[in-house]
C-alpha cells in the first residue's frame, strides 16, 4: 500500500524527515491555537458562563438587578421550580437504571450470541438513537390520547392514558431513548472482554444467569458510564419536558428553565440558577462512579486475552432472544411509529375512523405549502452546514486534544469538550439569548440576535463537543511520521493530507457527519429558543402544528423529516461505497471497529 511505502521511506531517511518537518509544519493546515480558543470561547465558554453568572452576580454585564445576592437560587429551589428539579432527578434515576438493564441485555444478545438478524437489531439501535424524544412522545400521544387513533377504531384507551401520560410515560420514553447510549458504552466493554471468564464460570457449573452475574462486575466501569450518560441525557432532555410532561402537568427542570426565559419579563437569574442545577446534576453520576470504582482493579485485558466466542443459542434460546428484542423495539419504536404514521394518514384526525378517512392529503400539503415546506428546507440546509463545519472543527479540536507537545492546552480543551458534552441544550440556548442580545454586542458590530445566523451558531456549538469526541479516537491512532514521509516525496500540506490522513479518517468522518446531520435536523431546545421570527425550523413547525391541533400536518411533517434523514443516511453510505477507493473503505473500517 501507499501508506506502507511511505512508512518505509520515513524509516530510512530520518534526517530528511526532520528537515521537512521543520520546514513545512503540520500535515493539514491547522487552526492556530489562539484562533481555536477564540472560536470555542465565542461558541461555548463565554455565552454559557455569562448566562450562569447571572445567578451568582446579579447585574452582571449591565443586566437589571431584579434579585440580589444568591436570591436566584432561593427562588429556583422553592415552589413549582423545586418540584420540577426533584421530578427530573427521580425520573432520571429510574430512566438510567432501566436503560442500563436494557443496554446490558441488548449488548449481550447482539455482541456475545448468535441471535438471528444481528445486523437488523444493531440498525434498529442506531435508528432509535437518531429519533428525538419529542417525536417518540408524539407517536404515543396520537395513538392513545382521547379521540386518538385507537379510540377512533373502537378501542377504549382511557385507563392506559391516565397511567402512561405522567411520570410513567416520561420514564418509559427517556429510558428507551437512552438505551442506545447505554448499549454503546456496555458493548464496548464486552468486546474487550475475553471469553475465558465465561468459560471458567461454566466449567464450575454456572448456568447462563450465573455466568452473566460473574462477568458483569468485570465491566463495571462501562456500566457506570452507561448510567452516567443516560442520567445526564434524561436530566437535560427538553423533548419530553415540552410535550408529554408539560401536557400532563408534570413539571421538570428543563421546562421550568424554558418558562423563566420565555416569559415577560425575562428572569435570567432564576433560569441561570436552574442551569447550575442541571450542570451540577451531570456531575452526580460521575462522582458516584468515581467512589464506586475507587481502589478496585478492572484490568482484565492481557496478551493472553482471547477473542470473544459467540454463545450458540438453542432453538428455545433463539425464540426467547428474538421475542425479547421484538418486544423492546416494539415499545421503543414500533408503537410511536404506528401512532405517527396512522395519524398522518387521517384526513380528519379525531373523527370516527374509516377507510375513507385514509389519505395522503397531509403529505401533499406539507410538500406543496411554502409555510410548511420552507421549515424543512431551512433545517436541511442548516443541518448540512452544521455537520460540515462541526466535522472540520472537530478534526482541529481532536488534533489539539491529542497533541503531545502541548499537554496542558490539550487537557484544558479536553475538559471544555467533556463539560460541553454534558451541557444541556436548553442552557446553551439560554446563554446565547443572554450573551448575543447584550447592547455591547451591537456596539462592536455583532448583530446576531433574532437571526438565523445565531441559530446556526447554536447548532454548531451544540454539535461540536460530541463530534470532536467521536473523532478523537481515529485522529489519535494516526502516526505522525506519515506526514514526514509524504513531505519527503514532495507533497505539500493539502496533497499529503489527502493521500495519507484522509484515507484513514474517511469512514469515521462520514459517520460523524451523518450523526451530526441527523441530530441537528430534528433538534428542539436550541431551535425553540433561537429561531428567527417567521423562519422556524422543522422541529418548531411540528410543535406549532400539534399545538394548533393540526395533528395530521404535524405528524406528516415528522414522517417526512425522519424519511429525509434516513434517506440522506442511505445515500451518503451508498455513495461512499461506490465512489470511495477500496483502500479507504478497508482502512477506515478497521479504525471504526476498534
For residue 385, what pLDDT is reported?
94
pLDDT of residue 29: 43
What is the model's pLDDT at position 591?
39
Give me the mean pLDDT over the 71-86 stretch: 86
Mean of the per-residue pLDDT values for the chain?
A: 76
Q: What is the pLDDT of residue 454?
A: 92
pLDDT score for 50: 83
Peptide bond into 265 cis (omega under 30): yes
Answer whether 21's CB lies under 8 Å from 480's CB: no
Q: Is residue 72 within 8 Å of 176, Cβ to Cβ?
A: no
pLDDT at position 10: 38
CB-count exposure of residue 57 (10 Å: 0-12, 13-18, 19+): middle
Decide if pLDDT at 4 tops 60. no
pLDDT tens, 510-533? 888 988 898 899 888 889 889 988
> Which pLDDT score is estimated for 327?
93
Q: How far apart are CA 246 and CA 76, in angstroms?
A: 18
- pLDDT greater than 60 at residue 150: yes
Tell me the C-alpha distance between 121 and 115, whole Å: 10
> pLDDT higher for 1 or 381?
381
Short-list 474, 479, 561, CA closest to 510 = 474
Report the interhelical angle of 167-191 vs 79-112 (nearest 10°): 40
Average pLDDT over residues 251-259: 88
- State the pLDDT at residue 19: 36
Would the pLDDT of 15 be above 50?
Answer: no
Going from N- to C-terminal start, the domains of the chain cover 30-63+371-594, 73-295+320-358
Residue 269, pLDDT above cutoff 50: yes
- Is the confidence at residue 304, as pLDDT, over 90? no
Give whichever of 75-79, 291-295, 356-360, 418-422 has the largest mean pLDDT. 75-79
The CATH number of the domain covering residues in 30-63+371-594: 1.10.3720.10
**CA torsion through residues 27, 33, 35, 37, sign:** positive
For 255: left if phi > 0, alpha if psi spans -120 to 50, otherwise beta; the answer is alpha
Would you say residue 47 has pLDDT above 50?
yes
Plot region of 447 (φ>0 → left; ψ -120 to 50 → alpha; else → beta):
beta
Lowest mean pLDDT, pick from 7-21, 193-207, 290-304, 309-323: 7-21
C-alpha cell at 579: 465512489
Helix (H) or strand (E) holding 298: none
Q: Which pLDDT tens digit goes with each residue over 184-243?
A: 878 766 665 555 556 555 555 555 566 666 666 666 777 787 888 888 888 888 889 888
346 - beta bridge partners? 358
CA angle 548, 83, 175 (to 5 degrees): 70
Distances (CA, A) of 440 to 373, 450, 545: 36, 16, 37
Q: Which CATH number does the domain 73-295+320-358 belong to among 1.10.490.10, 3.40.50.300, 3.40.50.720, 1.10.3720.10? A: 1.10.3720.10
- pTM value is 0.76
Report d(CA 521, CA 513) in Å as an integer: 12
**pLDDT range class, residue 70, cuts 50, 70, 90:** confident
Q: Give the per-residue SS3 of 478-490.
A: CCCHHHHHHHHCC
The pLDDT of 409-434, averaged and rounded, is: 77
337-382 pLDDT, tens digit each: 888 888 888 766 555 555 546 778 888 888 888 777 888 889 999 9
Residue 124 clears pLDDT 70, i.e. is over it: yes
Task: Say which residue, 168 or 111, is predicted with more confidence.
Answer: 168
* Closest listed residue to residue 103, CA positions, set 172, 174, 176: 176
Amino acid at each position: 500500500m501507499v501508506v506502507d511505502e511511505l512508512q518505509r521511506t520515513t524509516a530510512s531517511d530520518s534526517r530528511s524527515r526532520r528537515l521537512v518537518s521543520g520546514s513545512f509544519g503540520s500535515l493539514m493546515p491547522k487552526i492556530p491555537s489562539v484562533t481555536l480558543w477564540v472560536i470555542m470561547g465565542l461558541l461555548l465558554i463565554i455565552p454559557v458562563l455569562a448566562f450562569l453568572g447571572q445567578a451568582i452576580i446579579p447585574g452582571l454585564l449591565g443586566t437589571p438587578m431584579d434579585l440580589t445576592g444568591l436570591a436566584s437560587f432561593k427562588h429556583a429551589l422553592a415552589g413549582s421550580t423545586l418540584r420540577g428539579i426533584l421530578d427530573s432527578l427521580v425520573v432520571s434515576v429510574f430512566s438510567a437504571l432501566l436503560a442500563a438493564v436494557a443496554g446490558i441485555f441488548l449488548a449481550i444478545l447482539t455482541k456475545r450470541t448468535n441471535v438471528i438478524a444481528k445486523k437488523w437489531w444493531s440498525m434498529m439501535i442506531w435508528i432509535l438513537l437518531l429519533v428525538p424524544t419529542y417525536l417518540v412522545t408524539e407517536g404515543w400521544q396520537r395513538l392513545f390520547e382521547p379521540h386518538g387513533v385507537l379510540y377512533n377504531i373502537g378501542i377504549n384507551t382511557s385507563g392506559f392514558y391516565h397511567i402512561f401520560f405522567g411520570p410513567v410515560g416520561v420514564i418509559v420514553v427517556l429510558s428507551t431513548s437512552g438505551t442506545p447510549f447505554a448499549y454503546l458504552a456496555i458493548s464496548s466493554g464486552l468486546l474487550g472482554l475475553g471469553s475465558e471468564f465465561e468459560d471458567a464460570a461454566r466449567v464450575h457449573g454456572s448456568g447462563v444467569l450465573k455466568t452473566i452475574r460473574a462477568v458483569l462486575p468485570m465491566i463495571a466501569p462501562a456500566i457506570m458510564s452507561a448510567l452516567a450518560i443516560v442520567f445526564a441525557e434524561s436530566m437535560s432532555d427538553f423533548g419530553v419536558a415540552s410535550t408529554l410532561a408539560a401536557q400532563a402537568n408534570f413539571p421538570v427542570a428543563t421546562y421550568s428553565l424554558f418558562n423563566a426565559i420565555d416569559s415577560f419579563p425575562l428572569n435570567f437569574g432564576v433560569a441561570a440558577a436552574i442551569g447550575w442545577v442541571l450542570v451540577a446534576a451531570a456531575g452526580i453520576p460521575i462522582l458516584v462512579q468515581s467512589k464506586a470504582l475507587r481502589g478496585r482493579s478492572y484490568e482484565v485485558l492481557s496478551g493472553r486475552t482471547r477473542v470473544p466466542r459467540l454463545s450458540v443459542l438453542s432453538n428455545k434460546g433463539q425464540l426467547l432472544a428474538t421475542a425479547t428484542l421484538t418486544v423492546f423495539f416494539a415499545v421503543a419504536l414500533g408503537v410511536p411509529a404506528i401512532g405517527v404514521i396512522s395519524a398522518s394518514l387521517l384526513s380528519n384526525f379525531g373523527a370516527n375512523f374509516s377507510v375513507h378517512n385514509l389519505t395522503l392529503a397531509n403529505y401533499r400539503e406539507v410538500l406543496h405549502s411554502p409555510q410548511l415546506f420552507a421549515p424543512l428546507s431551512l433545517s436541511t440546509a442548516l443541518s448540512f452546514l452544521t455537520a460540515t463545519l462541526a466535522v472540520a472543527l472537530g478534526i482541529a479540536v481532536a488534533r489539539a486534544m491529542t497533541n503531545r507537545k502541548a499537554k496542558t492546552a490539550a487537557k484544558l480543551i479536553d475538559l471544555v469538550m467533556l463539560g460541553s458534552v454534558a451541557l444541556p441544550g436548553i442552557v446553551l440556548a439560554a446563554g446565547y439569548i443572554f450573551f448575543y442580545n447584550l447592547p455591547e454586542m451591537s456596539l462592536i458590530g455583532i448583530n446576531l440576535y433574532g437571526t438565523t445566523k445565531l441559530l446556526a451558531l447554536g447548532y454548531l456549538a451544540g454539535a461540536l463537543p460530541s463530534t470532536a469526541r467521536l473523532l478523537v479516537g481515529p485522529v489519535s491512532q494516526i502516526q505522525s511520521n506519515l506526514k514526514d514521509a509524504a513531505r519527503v516525496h514532495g507533497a505539500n500540506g493539502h496533497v499529503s493530507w489527502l493521500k495519507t490522513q484522509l484515507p484513514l479518517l474517511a469512514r469515521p468522518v462520514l459517520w460523524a457527519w451523518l450523526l451530526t446531520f441527523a441530530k441537528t435536523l430534528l433538534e428542539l431546545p436550541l431551535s425553540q429558543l433561537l429561531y428567527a421570527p417567521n423562519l422556524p425550523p422543522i422541529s418548531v413547525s411540528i410543535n406549532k402544528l400539534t399545538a394548533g391541533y393540526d395533528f395530521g400536518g404535524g405528524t406528516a411533517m415528522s414522517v417526512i423529516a425522519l424519511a429525509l434523514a434516513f434517506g440522506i443516511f442511505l445515500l451518503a453510505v451508498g455513495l461512499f461505497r461506490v465512489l470511495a477507493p477500496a483502500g479507504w473503505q478497508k482502512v477506515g473500517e478497521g479504525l471504526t471497529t476498534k
